[in-house]
Amino acid sequence: MKLLPKLEMNNGLATLYVDGKPFFALGGELHNSSASSTTYMREVVWPSLRQISGLNSIIATVSWQQIEPGQGRFDFTVLDDLIADARQEGIRLVLIWFGLWKNGASSYVPSWVKRDPVTYFPCVRAQGTQLGSRFGGLGDYTISPLCEAAVAADARAFAAVMAHIRAVDTDHTVIMMQVENEIGLLGSARDYSPVANAKYLEPIPQVVAEAYGVSGNWEQAFGADAQEYFMAWYYARAVQTIASAGIRELALPMYVNAWLQQDPDRAGAYPSGGPIAKMIKLWRLAAPSICLYAPDIYLPDFEAVVAEYSADGNPLFIPETRTNVSSAAAVFLAFGKYNAIGFNPFGIEDLFSPRSGGFDPAELAALNIDVSAFSNEGTATYLPQSYCLIGNMLGIIARYRGTKQMTGFYQYGDAEGCMLSFSKYDIRIAYGRIGPGKPPAGGLVIEVDADNFIFAGTNFLASFLPKKDVEKYVGYVMIQEGKYQDNVWRPGRILNGDEQRVGLRDVPQALQVEVFQY
């Protein structure tokens, strides 16, 4: 029996163990509907994924609607095929449980739930904010997180899924579970159903009062943000019920992802009650079974988001991000500087499959995502190379994670470069020019010892500076290009003379550099 995948924290550093060894997901999330059909997966998705060298995992969906078509009647056929096919392909699976909520809506619940609004009651929006009329039509039908019958039904189904995975997946092809998707209420800051209205007037839970040093009801305790805190508490309690029911059957790491706080900055314009960064503290109180909060990053400032979602001991797992060519550079920042355990551009099957792609611009507008996120020119060329490069040096990255000897960078906005600081030298990184279909600058740098460095990444030029107070020059002992293969350096050219520069072009590459002072 193989060891169960687990997430371990050591001195604030999270590591995901798969088969007892550290595992870093160089992956991608599939489109929402892909995994609902074995035929589609076999004809369209797997052939595309096979071409993404370096890919070691994918995030695929399991929908309640498909799994439990009649109450208590389960059909695991498609899930069984997915697990068997992934095992055969040598790809690990992170599964999303599309249960009660997906992007603030309840579109994936079975028909027997949809057709019984009395037992499974929906959220009621505040007058004037019905059915997305203010925010673009998403989240129309949303079952209330205060509906205990709905949460219990979801928990039973999720427990059945986990029990089934335990029975069929003894090799642990499935390594993690995402519980629901981009939770929160759209179209209103809070639920105005009768149950919610009554609960809103109750005193806040004791544990919340103690953690925040506040008291009274939600409005007395949280003022203008009360509605969002209220929703966050009840969504998180619902998730705790669902996740813990699953964990009792199979204790895989379980996480929750977030549609981020963004413009317009009003809870309800982004899902109210979801685990946006400022709500993680509350979510942790309410949902202790959740191991991490994961950002879906479509906002342009990637680094600002990963900085927020790797703070306070939150393990960084990126379940969704832009699939455009910037992903081939951003991945170096995630693993080099923010100790990521996983990186997943969304709609990964599009890279080599013309049949799967395509977003309706209106749909993206409703999701508050700009179209450039999925303009994939160049991604199929560069992302697999970044994955191969990083994938072949994961043992080295694992050794330096969480130390001052490793950092990373990623070009954003008008910045022309950045400064990195190590024990004996500072390194000035000048970003290259951004061209269509080419990755921006992105890289990771490891200080092996005071004079020896590893660079990996794309599109930058590095120059070494002595520390500010040192009146010396820095020269190169040797610059060598090469490749890692299973963490072993396979040297290439020694760059000297005309080529003596610590520069990487658009093709993701590695250099080993030794410097001296004189």
320 touching ligand DGJ, by CB under 6 A: yes
By beta-carbon proximity to ligand DGJ, the closer residue of 105 and 162 is 105
By beta-carbon proximity to ligand DGJ, the closer residue of 169 and 182 is 182
Give the bridge partners for 457, in sequence order: 443, 509
Beta-carbon-side half-sphere exposure of residue 30 (alpha carbons within 13 Å): 26
By beta-carbon proximity to ligand DGJ, the closer residue of 32 and 458 is 32
By beta-carbon proximity to ligand DGJ, the closer residue of 57 and 193 is 57
By beta-carbon proximity to ligand DGJ, the closer residue of 169 and 349 is 349
By beta-carbon proximity to ligand DGJ, the closer residue of 296 and 349 is 296
Q: According to CB under 6 A, which one of 142, 181, 240, 407 is a site residue for ligand DGJ?
A: 181
Smallest separation, CB 69 to ligand DGJ (Å): 22
Q: Phi/psi zone of residue 182: left (φ > 0), alpha (ψ -120 to 50 degrees), beta?
A: left
Site size with ligand DGJ, rule: CB under 6 A: 9
What is the C-alpha to C-alpha distance for residues 186 and 167, in angstroms, rounded to an integer? 37
Smallest separation, CB 108 to ligand DGJ (Å): 10
Smallest separation, CB 241 to ligand DGJ (Å): 22
What is the C-alpha to C-alpha distance for residues 494 and 513, in angstroms, rounded to an integer? 10
User: Would you state the structure tokens that stand for residue 179, as one six-digit string?
Assistant: 């519980």
Question: What is the Cα 172 distance to its own chain's centre?
Answer: 20
Smallest separation, CB 161 to ligand DGJ (Å): 18
Extended beta strands in 250-306, E state: 254-259, 292-297
Residue of this chain nearest to ligand DGJ (CB atom): 182
Helix (H, G, I), strand (E, B) or coil at 290: coil
Q: According to CB under 6 A, which one of 15, 32, 48, 66 is a site residue for ligand DGJ?
A: 32
What is the C-alpha to C-alpha distance for residues 362 and 67, in angstroms, rounded to an integer? 30
By beta-carbon proximity to ligand DGJ, the closer residue of 268 and 319 is 319
Contacts of 158 (CB under 8 A, 6+ apart): 97, 99, 179, 242, 243, 245, 246
Residue with tokens 């003596």: 500
Helix (H, G, I), strand (E, B) or coil at 8: strand
Question: What is the Cα 130 distance to its own chain's centre?
Answer: 31
Question: Could you tell me how many residues make up the chain?
Answer: 518
103 touching ligand DGJ, by CB under 6 A: yes
Smallest separation, CB 294 to ligand DGJ (Å): 10
Helices (H), 116-225: 148-168, 194-200, 206-212, 218-222
By beta-carbon proximity to ligand DGJ, the closer residue of 271 and 391 is 271
101 touching ligand DGJ, by CB under 6 A: no
68 touching ligand DGJ, by CB under 6 A: no
Contacts of 143 (CB under 8 A, 6+ apart): 100, 101, 106, 109, 113, 120, 121, 122, 123, 150
346 touching ligand DGJ, by CB under 6 A: yes
369 touching ligand DGJ, by CB under 6 A: yes
Binding mask 262-291 for ligand DGJ (x = CB under 6 A): ------------------------------
Contacts of 224 (CB under 8 A, 6+ apart): none
227 touching ligand DGJ, by CB under 6 A: no
182 touching ligand DGJ, by CB under 6 A: yes
Which residues contact ligand DGJ (rule: CB under 6 A)? 32, 103, 181-182, 296, 320, 346, 367, 369
